[in-house]
């Protein structure tokens, strides 16, 4: 499912958001429903719509969209649809794909679709390019070192076949751990008979359960590649010999895909072709008298031991990391459950009516259904953080969240002039109060510069209001700051303030009802 959705984002130029989308989607409490997809897209501010339309409106749909189809009349399945001229390309979550004509597609059409607005900003390209440079520089260095180490044309053929084999071996490992890019995903699901994922993840364990069939290409080609550093001639001989030895494994792999699994792995077939090419090429040059040895050289054994031992160390670390990520997503899914959040919020003290009569500073849309209250102190660094997070929430969800600010500070505190001036600015020039707050809490202007910019006379009534707020907070046990309130209830301490974005839709619906 995740690969299907990643492809959907890539097709609409949101590749730079695929990892963040996956993390949010997998941790969504309603995973893997259509609502979870829709809600995750909303959190990422990607314009989308989920609706039901008739087949007559099909031409009005974008070139790619998600749809629920019904092939068995028992259950519906979410698929990715690509419009290809007169045909329709259907991608399934098991990575299979089929091409249907309009009549065939009409038979499975349910009318439920999810489409999104394609991205026009093309963000994230710089990061992709820098990643390619990260791989290119060391590769060029290794190439230069090996070429310097004396090559003839036979060694060169074996070196490049080894390099190609190593690249596709890494692709197999990526597929095994679900780390494939979009281009590899398309390659591995060209037709219904092709499924690299099904073949690779069905591989058998051996060598005391430490290695699997899909590990062999990486170990073989990795060892072969590094053996060129020691001695190109000896490396070439050893690779040729082992390629011939590998022929029974190649035949077994083809039998496994054809007979047992009834699925083809194109990555595995490419590896098999490389090995067969190496074996045939080695036999031909051996027959011509260019080689004279059938030995596996000690330098290759050193490379084999190094590569295998390194992989046996790295492999469990990868598995452990994947397992930890899975557990982390499950915990996030639990934490993001709105019912739990609501219970924790409703169990807190609901503030009395007098609180609502305090002179608050409002930011944002006064008609928003969710009111976030922050009780701050001017010299608290955590208050600076809370204010910035509150402002970000209002900016990102202007129609749903408003922010109000109060101050908890004694009149005898030397810094009391700051909240007094802010409250006075709110009274005299309300359009300037957000700037004054941001200058202090976000831009962190020095107090001398801030006072110079906001030189204003404080009225006695304002001072009384600040003290009234302080007295009320002290009476009700609010002795520390910042205090976060949501629609009159204390915001649960188990959640960060930015976690509120996960519950905005549900809270807005509750407020309406």
Mark whether 356 and 438 lie in a shared domain.
Answer: yes
Main-chain dihedrals φ then ψ at residue 364, nearest 5 degrees:
100, -160
Last residue of a domain, one of 308, 330, 352: 330
- Integer angstrom CA distances of residue 198 from 175, 195, 268: 10, 5, 12
Q: What would the DSSP string read from start to end of 299-343?
A: HHHHHHHHHHHHHHHHHHHHHHHHHHHHHHHHHHHHHT-HHHHHH
- The number of domains in the chain is 3
CATH classification of the domain holding 503: 3.40.30.10
> H-helix or E-strand containing 185?
helix 182-187
Mark whether 174 and 202 lie in a shared domain.
Answer: yes
CATH classification of the domain holding 58: 3.90.70.10
Mark whether 348 and 446 lie in a shared domain.
Answer: yes
Residue 128 in domain: no
- Does residue 442 contact residue 387 with C-beta atoms inside 8 Å? yes
Rounded to an integer, what distance in angstroms lies between the CA atom of residue 415 and that of residue 424? 15
Residue 123 in domain: no
Mark whether 70 and 108 lie in a shared domain.
Answer: yes
Peptide bond into 482 cis (omega under 30): yes
Mark whether 325 and 393 lie in a shared domain.
Answer: no
Residue indicated by tokens 């030397």:
414
How do the pLDDT tens digits run along the chain, 513 residues long? Answer: 888 898 899 888 888 888 888 888 888 888 888 888 988 898 888 888 889 998 888 888 888 999 998 876 557 889 999 888 778 888 888 777 888 888 888 888 888 999 998 887 655 444 444 454 555 556 555 555 555 555 577 888 888 899 999 999 999 998 888 777 666 766 776 667 887 877 887 766 666 567 888 899 999 999 998 888 777 777 888 888 899 999 998 998 899 888 888 888 899 999 999 999 999 988 887 665 555 455 557 778 888 999 999 999 999 999 899 888 888 888 888 888 988 998 888 766 556 667 778 899 999 998 899 999 999 999 899 999 999 999 999 999 998 999 999 999 988 888 899 999 999 999 999 999 999 999 999 999 999 999 999 999 999 999 999 999 999 888 888 888 899 999 888 899 889 999 999 898 888 888 776
Mark whether 480 and 367 lie in a shared domain.
Answer: yes
CA 273, 274, 276, 277 dihedral sign is positive
> H-helix or E-strand containing 228?
helix 215-230
Summarised one tens digit per residue, pLDDT across range 214-267 is 899 999 999 998 888 777 777 888 888 899 999 998 998 899 888 888 888 899
Q: What would the DSSP string read from start to end of 454-510?
A: T--PPPHHHHHHHHHHHHHHHHTT--SS-EEEETTEEPPTTS-GGGGGGGHHHHHHH
The alpha-helical segments, DSSP class H, found in 48-90 are none
Rounded to an integer, what distance in angstroms lies between the CA atom of residue 458 and that of residue 213? 78
Q: What would the DSSP string read from start to end of 128-173?
A: HHHHHHHHHHHHHHHHHHHHHT---HHHHHHHHHHHHHHHHHHHHH
Which range marks the domain in which residue 459 is found?
338-512
In this structure, what DSSP letter does residue 107 have? Answer: H
- What does the block give as tokens for 472? 């009320």
Summarised one tens digit per residue, pLDDT across range 462-493 is 999 999 999 988 888 888 889 999 988 889 98
Rounded to an integer, what distance in angstroms lies between the CA atom of residue 490 and that of residue 143? 62
Mark whether 72 and 148 lie in a shared domain.
Answer: no
Residue 109 in domain: yes
Q: What would the DSSP string read from start to end of 265-305?
A: -HHHHHHHHHHHHHHHHHHHHHHTTS----PPPHHHHHHHH
Rounded to an integer, what distance in angstroms lies between the CA atom of residue 34 and that of residue 54? 19
Last residue of a domain, one of 66, 85, 116: 116
CB-count exposure of residue 73 (10 Å: 0-12, 13-18, 19+) = exposed
Last residue of a domain, one of 83, 116, 149: 116
Mark whether 303 and 175 lie in a shared domain.
Answer: yes
Mark whether 157 and 284 lie in a shared domain.
Answer: yes
Mark whether 179 and 326 lie in a shared domain.
Answer: yes
Round to the nearest angstrom and report the end-to-end CA distance of the chain.
34
Which one, of 375, 381, 382, lies nearest residue 496 by Cα? 382
- What does the block give as tokens for 245? 């030895």
> H-helix or E-strand containing 370?
strand 370-376
């Amino acid at each position: 499912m995740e690969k299907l959705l990643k492809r959907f984002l890539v097709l609409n130029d949101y590749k730079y958001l695929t990892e963040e989308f996956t993390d949010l989607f997998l941790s969504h409490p309603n995973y893997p429903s259509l609502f979870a997809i829709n809600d995750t897209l909303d959190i990422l501010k990607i314009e989308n719509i989920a609706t039901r339309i008739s087949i007559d409106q099909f031409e009005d749909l974008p070139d790619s969209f998600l749809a629920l189809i019904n092939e068995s009349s028992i259950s519906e399945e979410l698929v990715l649809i690509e419009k290809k001229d007169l045909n329709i390309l259907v991608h399934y979550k098991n990575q299979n794909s089929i091409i249907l004509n309009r009549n065939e597609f009409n038979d499975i059409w349910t009318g439920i679709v999810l489409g999104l607005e394609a991205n026009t900003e093309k963000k994230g390209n710089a990061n992709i390019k820098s990643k390619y440079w990260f791989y290119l520089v060391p590769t060029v260095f290794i190439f230069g070192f090996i070429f310097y180490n004396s090559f003839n044309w036979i060694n060169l053929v074996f070196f490049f076949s080894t390099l190609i084999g190593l690249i596709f071996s890494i692709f197999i490992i990526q597929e095994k751990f679900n780390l494939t890019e979009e281009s590899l995903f398309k390659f591995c699901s060209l037709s219904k008979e092709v499924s690299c994922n099904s073949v690779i993840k069905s591989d058998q364990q051996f060598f005391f359960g430490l290695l699997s069939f899909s590990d062999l290409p990486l170990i073989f080609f990795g060892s072969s590649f590094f053996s060129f550093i020691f001695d190109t001639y000896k490396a070439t001989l050893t690779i040729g010999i082992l390629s011939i030895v590998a022929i029974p494994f190649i035949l077994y792999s083809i039998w496994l895909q054809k007979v047992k699994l009834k699925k083809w792995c194109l990555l595995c077939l490419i590896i098999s072709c490389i090995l067969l090419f190496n074996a045939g090429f080695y036999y031909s040059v051996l027959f011509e008298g260019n080689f004279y040895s059938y030995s596996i050289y000690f330098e290759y054994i050193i490379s084999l031991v190094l590569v295998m031992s390194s992989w046996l160390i790295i492999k469990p670390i990868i598995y452990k990391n994947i397992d930890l990520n899975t557990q982390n997503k499950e915990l996030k899914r639990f934490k993001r459950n709105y019912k739990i959040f609501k219970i924790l919020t409703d169990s807190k003290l609901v503030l009395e009516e007098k609180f609502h009569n305090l002179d608050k500073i409002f930011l944002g849309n006064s008609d928003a259904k969710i009111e976030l209250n922050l009780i701050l102190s001017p010299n608290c660094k955590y208050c600076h953080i809370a204010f910035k997070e509150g402002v970000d929430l209002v900016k990102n969800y202007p129609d749903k969240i408003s922010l109000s600010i109060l101050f908890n500070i004694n009149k005898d505190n030397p810094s009391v002039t700051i909240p007094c001036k802010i409250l006075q600015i709110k009274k005299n020039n309300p359009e300037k109060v957000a700037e004054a707050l941001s200058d202090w809490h976000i831009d962190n202007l020095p107090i001398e510069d801030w006072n110079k910019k906001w030189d204003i006379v404080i009225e006695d009534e304002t001072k009384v209001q600040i003290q009234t707020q302080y007295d009320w907070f002290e009476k009700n046990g609010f002795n520390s700051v910042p205090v976060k309130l949501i629609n009159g209830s204390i915001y649960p301490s188990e959640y960060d303030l930015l976690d509120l974005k996960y519950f905005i839709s549900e809270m807005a619906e509750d407020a309406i009802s």
